[in-house]
Structure 1
Amino acid sequence: MTAAPAFHWLGADQLHPAPAACLADWLFDTGSLTRRLTALSAGRFAVTLLEEGWQTLRDDECAALGVASGSAGWAREVYLLGEDRPWVFARSVAAREALEGFVPVLAELGRRPLGELLFSDPAFARGPLQATRYPPAGLPAAVRRSGLWGRRSCFRRGVLTVLVAEVFLPDLWRYQGIDPDAL
């Protein structure tokens, strides 16, 4: 059995050295990533569902959700595509006990972005953003590489907390004329 990847999530003021301005702009933008990617791709935005279902959550996810280590939860992994290329890998999780009454809503997402739901419902409040160099072992094999930056934040609505992590992939940077290896 392989060891779980180590995640070290930090706030903007804790990152030393600070990331490049173009990267920080994406990592700590509090608006809808779905809307931003849709605008950047001139409407050629799509979601590819990779995996969805019940699983044991990672320790860093349990800590962020305020549940015991090893807790079960709902997890959804997708690619957010622009121009038919994977620009972002996203993993969203919620603890099983907090999902009472919400499972049908989440199950019906399919190819719709979760951000569409979270940003269209004013009852959801977003917590602070954190960033990390995402461990390659936490990524799908097709995009696995070291050095990729990711961010995460919790969205809360009553007892429900949804933790959303988003990893910015090299094709997003290339599309904008930025060398991904320079970030």
Structure 2
Amino acid sequence: MGIADRWGLRAWLRAPGSLSKRLAATGRRYEVQVLRQGVAPLRAAERAALGLPRRGCTVVREVLLRVDGQPLVWARSAVHASALAGPWKAVKGLGARPLGHLLYEDPRIHRSELQPRRLTRHGHTRRQMARQWQAAIGETPPTQMLWSRNSVFTRHGMQLRVMELFVPEVAQRSPGPLRLKRRRR
């Protein structure tokens, strides 16, 4: 992982379970700031992860996750609009509540393996995040804010993709113990 190791981000990029709960445990006040929620074009990586065709409406939710006022994560979730009438309908009414509460309360929801990824400095996702960060925070995001993790959640055959992009300073906080699931024999 190179630079992610130097920052100590590896533990965050691989931490199982709810990122919201892990972040909340590092401070006194945890907040979700909704930057955008609505219909948006699905990006190629999202289409591939969700196994969707090029056409169709997609609902995207982009948020900042803050601890004690400090923004630590920019997150984007994407789901095909048809899933909002079914298994993912609760996403529409989340508001400023963490998506993690929805994802980890239902044992029928299964998560894919976490996929760490380094964004390109001038790619579409990084530019989108930077615009929203500037508008919400009033300053540019850290230039080294490039490491993300991606996963897909499945419920009743319908999928929702989550991408979480970390501020380098999050490495100064501990994600807590990493408990790995035991394999069934």
User: TM-score if structure 1 supplies the norm length?
Assistant: 0.78
CA contact (8 A) 2:79 2:159 kept: yes
Q: Which whole-Å deviations, capped at 9, do the CAs of 1:2-44 have from their partners, x for residues lacking one?
A: xxxxxxxxxxxxx5x5841722111011121011001011x31
Secondary structure at the counterpart of residue 163 of structure 1: strand
Preserved contact between residue 84 and residue 92 of structure 2 (Cα < 8 Å): no
1:27 corresponds, among 1, 7, 13, to 13
Amino acid at match of 1:45: Y
Name the % identity.
35
Q: Which residue of 2 aligns with 1:56?
A: 41
Q: Which letter maps to 2:156?
A: G
Q: CA shift at 1:170, angstroms? A: 3.4
Distance in 2 (alpha carbons) for counterparts of 1:89 and 1:18: 19
How well do the aligned residues superpose, as a CA RMSD in angstroms? 2.2
Matched with 2:112 is: 127
Corresponding position of 1:66: 51
Q: Could you tell me how far apart the structure 1 residues matched to 2:144 and 2:47 are?
A: 24
Kindly tell me the number of residue pairs found equivalent between the two proteins: 160
Gaps of at least 5 residues in structure 2 are 121-125, 135-140, 175-185
C-alpha distance in 2 between matches for 1:128 and 1:26: 14
**TM-score in terms of structure 2 length:** 0.78
Q: Is the 8 A contact 2:84 2:91 kept in 1?
A: no
Which portions of structure 1, spanning 4 or more consecutive aligned residues, are displaced by more than 3 angstroms?
144-147
Residues 27 and 150, structure 1, Cα contact 8 Å, conserved in 2: yes
Within-5 A mapping of 1:95-134: 95-102=80-87, 104-134=89-119
What is the CA-CA distance between 1:172 and the residue it aligns to? 2.4
Does the 8 Å CA contact 1:93/1:162 hold for their aligned counterparts?
yes
Unpaired runs of 5+ residues, structure 1, are: 1-14, 178-183
Deviation at 1:104, TM superposition (A): 4.4
